[in-house]
Each structure stands twice: as structure tokens, then as C-alpha cells.
Amino acid sequence: MNHNPARGILYLCLGVLVFSLQDAIVKQVSGGYALTQVVFIRSCVSVPILLWLVQREEGWRAIFASRLGALSVRGVIMLGAYTAYYMAFPALPLADAVALYFTVPLFVTALAGPILGERSGWPVWAAVLLGFVGVMVMLQPGTGLFEPAALLSLLSAALYGSAMLMARRFGTSLSAAVMAFFQNAFFLLGSGLAALLFMWLDVAQSTHPSVSFLVRPWVAVAFNDGVLMAVCGVVSAVGTVLLTNAYRVARASTVTPFEYTGILWAPLWGFLFFSEVPRATTVAGAAVIVVAGLLALRASKA
């Protein structure tokens, strides 16, 4: 199986940057729309982009060429991961939700052995744990950790980590564009079917904000909000291909610590879009995360 650490790290850092924009957009529109509606619109916009990428890389026939079962399983896992991630937003402070989600490297490191047969020595484990300490310093999660919705962020991290390990296991036998297309297809079908199910069951609201965000009925979309959701479609297509490529071309233990770079973008978007001023702990935590990533890279080459 090919291993190109520099390219894998570059793909992952770019993918995390791209997806951080989507978090800001979802936060902006989540107050008035259902999660299923946002995901459905986003996925519709992604379809032609991903079809073009598949045709460019391998041709459309590659969609039906092989491993339909495995691709379908991965698509379901990713649908669950992102649904759980965004459901946590209304019930938890954003800092708590993101901090819990960034346990992804811990899940990936723990599962890389049994799933991929990759052995991570104690220096890699130490670097990953140091990165998680940096996340805690940066975000200072508080009482929200005891909110039941915190389990959604942890569930999302575990599911996402499993899906990325599947991408690595496929290696070069499947292109990133094909995997991204299947993932988006399950987002599109899953969100649409879920909305129809909630409507049929007449479930429109809940006492818990996370559940309300999921089951809320669809409404007419304002033009500006529609543009933002469409941008999410472009972001999703590009970001998914980048992240999938990262785990295809490099070992999970090498690229996973760089998931933490997502924390670096949250303060920037918070300042630009929501007038949030970064705290001193944000800068300190970011420095720890960068050091941890560099240590992990060095340890993985040893």
C-alpha cells in the first residue's frame, strides 16, 4: 500500500480548512431550518461536482465498478457521523461540541491496529494525547460535557474515524472521487427519507434542541440562506475528496494528528463572521496542537 506522508498531510490540512467553512455556514443557518433540509440542499449541489470529478478521474462507470457493499457501508457511517456532529450544536456550547469531536485522532489511533494492522509506538500516542490536551486548553470545555448531547459529538468522532480508516483500507483500488460520490449519495437519500419519515410520523418538535434541529419541518428558503447552503455543497464536494485522499495515500497514524488543525480556523471564522475575539487560551492551545502535530509526524517516520 502506497505511503506518501507529505501529500497526505497536505490533503488533510486543506480538507479540514475547507470543512471549517461549512461549520460556520451551518451555524449561521441552523436557527431557522431543519438539519435534513440543509444537508439535502447541500448534497444536491454536490452531485454534479462529484460526477465531474469521477468522470475526470476514472469515468462514470467506476461508480458501479466494484465494492458497492463496502462503499455503501462507508456512506451510511459518514451520514451518521455528520448527523450526530451537527445535532450537537444547538444543545452544547460550540467549544464543547468541537472539543469532543476532536477525539477523532484518539479513535483512529486506537482502531488503526485492529482494522489496518498499523502499529503506533508510544511517541505517536504521546503526540496525539498532547494534541488533545491542546484542544482542552484552547476550548476550555465546561459543564456542557455533562449534557447528554455530548454523546453525539463522541459518537460522531468514532464514526468519522472508522470511515476514514475504511478509506485507507481501500488504498488505491478506489478513487477519492468515487468514495466521495457514494458518501454524498447517502447524505442526499438519507436526509430526504428522514424528512419524509418525520413528516409521516408528524414529528415536528421536541423538548431537546438537538432533536428539534433534526425533526423540524422544511420551510421556504430565503435567497441569501439558499446561497449559503449551495456553497456548502461545493465545500462538501471538495473537502470530502481532500480528506478521503489524505487517508488513501498516507498512514492513518501519520495524518490523523493534523485533524487538530481544524481548531486553528474556528477562532478566525468566529472573529470574521460572528465578532468573537480569540482568548489567550486559544493561542496557547493552538501552539500546543501545532507542536503535537510536528512531533507525531517525526515519530511516525522513526
Q: Given pLDDT bands bounded at 50, 70 and 90, which one contains residue 65? A: low
Within 10 angstroms of residue 16's Cβ, the number of other Cβ atoms is 21
Residue scoring higher pLDDT (125 or 228): 228
- When the pLDDT of each residue in the chain is averaged and rounded to a whole number, the result is 79
DSSP-assigned letter for residue 79: H
Domain residue spans of the chain = 5-301
How confident is the model at residue 294, as a pLDDT? 65
Q: How confident is the model at residue 38, as a pLDDT?
A: 93
Q: How confident is the model at residue 150 (pLDDT cuts 50, 70, 90)?
A: confident
Q: Which residues contact 245 (CB under 8 A, 6 or more apart)?
A: 8, 11, 15, 176
E strand residue ranges, 13-127: none
> Has this prediction a pTM greater than 0.95?
no
**pLDDT of 269 strictly over 90:** no
- Write down the pLDDT at residue 84: 93
Between 262-274 and 94-101, two packed helices, what is the crossing angle to 10 degrees?
Answer: 160
Residue 252 has pLDDT above 90, yes or no: no
**What are φ and ψ of residue 250, in 5° steps?**
-140, 160
Cell of 171: 488504498
Of residues 24 and 223, more confidence is placed in: 223
Chain segment 85-143, per-residue pLDDT in tens: 999 877 776 667 777 777 777 677 666 666 666 666 777 778 778 877 877 776 666 54
